[in-house]
Amino acid sequence: MFIHRTTVSPRKALLPAAALPLFAALLFLPAAAEASPKPDLVGLQVEKPAGDNKLFSQGSGVLIGEGLVLTAAHVITVNPQDPRVTVFIDNQRVPGTVAYTGTAEHLDLALIKVDPAALPASRRGLEAVTACPRDPGPAQDFTIAWMGKTTEEKTILRADPPKDGDPGPLSTMLAAGHPKGASGGGVFDAKDGCLAGIMTADGTFGINIPGVPHEVTVFLPATKIEGFLLEYRARAR
């Protein structure tokens, strides 16, 4: 069973500004020769009010360029009548609005639109982030950017070998759980820095599977994210 762990917390639970990460304006592109910015420069936090002036939903996200923040859809579905969202960039609050969700496509992804002019000037000149050109494999090394920090993790080792060259769904599970607020965080290839996925759920296996940890984190791979972004751009025309 998997359980989404986006936090909905009292306003007083908001992290202090000093704990917020540094961020950069990015453009989500296929992997290229240019090096991607380091993950600790591109992760961010997302907050959406619940509408009662007390609670809010808090998660993570990645600023992918063109004034767009990529996150998990369930982070911003609270109080759907109000599209306003706040992202935290370089110790600053930047207002945004929900631009698009992947709910219709059954993808736990969403885009938040922010004004590029509101971004800190020091974050506008970084190289564009690159999308990994292929889905991840088992026991692959990744750097995870979530809630203002980064951690080094791996995808889980499959309990059975791949069939017909298909790595299977276990290759999009990290071999570690994460606390509330990690949903929407970026999964980056530890070797070349490309964006490999967005974390969408944390949960546990109710049965023992050889080679699979009890607690895991699921992420949507870059190949699905690219399709989601193409659909958004087609609808925006």
DSSP code, position 53 = S
Domains and CATH numbers, the chain: 2-127+226-236 (2.40.10.10), 131-222 (2.40.10)
Amino acid at 223: T
One digit per residue, the tens of pLDDT, for the chain of length 237 reads 333 444 444 333 333 322 222 222 234 555 544 567 788 777 899 999 888 888 889 999 998 888 889 999 999 989 889 999 999 988 889 999 999 998 777 899 999 999 988 887 877 766 777 889 888 888 899 999 998 789 999 998 765 555 555 445 567 889 888 888 899 999 999 998 999 999 998 776 555 555 566 788 999 999 899 889 889 988 887
pTM of the model: 0.80
Instruction: Quote the CA–CA distance of 66 and 63 in Å, as a whole number.
Output: 9
Closest listed residue to residue 28, CA positions, set 135, 134, 130, 132: 130
At 208 the pLDDT is 59
DSSP annotation string for 139-202 = T-EEEEEETTEEEEEEBPPPSS--BTTB--GGGGEESS---TT-TT-EEEETTT--EEEEEEEE
